[in-house]
Amino acid sequence: MDNGLLCLPPAEFAVHLITTDREGAARHAHQFASIAAFDYFDEDVIRALSAYLITTYGITSVVGTTEKVVLWAALLRAQFGLPGASPDVIERMRDKVRMKERLTLTAVRTPAYTRVHALQDIVDFQAQFGRIVLKPTAGVGSMGLQILDTPAQVLALDKGHFSDGAWQVEEFIDGHMLHCDFIALAGQIQFCSVSQYVTPPGRYQDDYFGGSFMSLMRVSRSGCGRSPRRSFRPSSSKRASVTWNCFIRHAMNWCSVKLPARPGGGGIEWPVQHLYGINLFSEHVRVSCVAPDTMTYPRLPLRAGTAGYVGLLAAARVLK
């Protein structure tokens, strides 16, 4: 599921849903082969339910569709001998320390960093580098991230919180903050897009989740023909004034537009909303498709506290 929408066509896949959204599960029950709903998010419960579904229904494919669950999916594949990326491969993409270690081997420069096993590791690192960033090694967005400037801030941390090696610390780097998405096939990059976050790096702390908005800078594609770029203006709000460059797939004749709405409980900060002329939490963000009966994407109201990307589909003919 992605923002409450089924990613896989139920006509081709028997999809088994594990969720804490009982209301949503009941509303979309007809789309699923089975539904397991529970009241709180617990990793052990999810993995146990997943294992039960795999053995009971003879499931042959386990895929993680979000950052939070790709490692769980890999562990389940390894447990039941199913095809797909191994836990070791996935961990290299999710563990921030392992990622930096691999980058260092390719001569790519990274901030100074170290894995944290005790509070003293943070104390020593802060004494050497001054302003530092503390975050979970497998974190998502800015969840759990803290920017620490002084020894007093470090000493105020919970001493017993870092014994499992699930945290890392790195030197604070200021400047432009970019977001790069890539699609690779057989080791070759087929498509990439580069966006720049609007909110400055210094604001990413205290679980401020994500970048509010990203402005697309460049899209490129190799080995797949010419890549057209067009300007697209969200039409769901009369106050919207943002122009986006969108990549259009030739074969499917559609582009993917993302308006990141990633609050950490308090919503997108007002200066950014004012800059873009739109309040995502009081608007219905929508792009109409050419053939609503065959490629539907419903109006998706955003509420304060909603986190995640709002993916919008637009057919080429609605682009100007």
In tens, the pLDDT along 189-228 reads 655 556 666 555 555 555 444 444 444 444 454 433 333 3
C-alpha span between 1 and 22 (Å, rounded)? 14
**Are 29 and 65 in a shared domain?**
yes
Task: Please give the angle made by the CA atoms of 54, 43 and 179, to the nearest 5 degrees.
Answer: 100
What's the rounded mean pLDDT across residues 260-273? 37
In tens, the pLDDT along 23-32 reads 777 777 777 7
What's 158's domain CATH number?
A: 3.30.1490.20
What is the number of domains present in the chain?
3
Instruction: Out of 3-17, 59-73, 138-152, 245-259, pick the least confident.
Output: 245-259
**Are 206 and 311 in a shared domain?**
yes
**Are 124 and 202 in a shared domain?**
no
Q: Of the candidates 138, 171, 204, which is a domain's last residue? A: 171
Q: What pLDDT sits at residue 167?
A: 94
Q: Of the candidates 61, 84, 107, which is a domain's last residue? A: 84
**Are 40 and 113 in a shared domain?**
no
Q: Does a structural domain hold residue 7?
A: no
pLDDT at 286 over 60: no
- CA 279 distance to own-chain centroid: 21
**Are 23 and 120 in a shared domain?**
no
Q: Does a structural domain hold residue 261?
A: yes
Q: Supply φ then ψ for residue 313, to 5 degrees.
A: -105, 140
Q: Does a structural domain hold residue 240?
A: yes
Q: Does a structural domain hold residue 1?
A: no
Q: What's the DSSP call for residue 95?
A: -
Q: What pLDDT sits at residue 63?
A: 73
**Rg of the chain's alpha carbons, rounded to an integer?**
21
Q: Which of 151, 199, 205, 161 is nearest to 179 (CA)?
A: 199
pLDDT, averaged across the chain: 62
Q: Does a structural domain hold residue 71?
A: yes
Tokens matching residue 274: 């004012």
Alpha carbon separation from 131 to 3, 78, 151, 297 (Å, rounded): 36, 40, 10, 44
pLDDT at 22 over 60: yes
Q: Of the candidates 129, 156, 171, which is a domain's last residue? A: 171
**Are 74 and 195 in a shared domain?**
no
Tell me how long the chain is.
320
Find the domain containing 44 and state its range. 16-84
Q: Supply φ then ψ for residue 149, to 5 degrees.
A: -105, -25
**Are 255 and 310 in a shared domain?**
yes
**Are 292 and 162 in a shared domain?**
no
145 — pLDDT class (breaks 50, 70, 90): confident
**Are 21 and 46 in a shared domain?**
yes
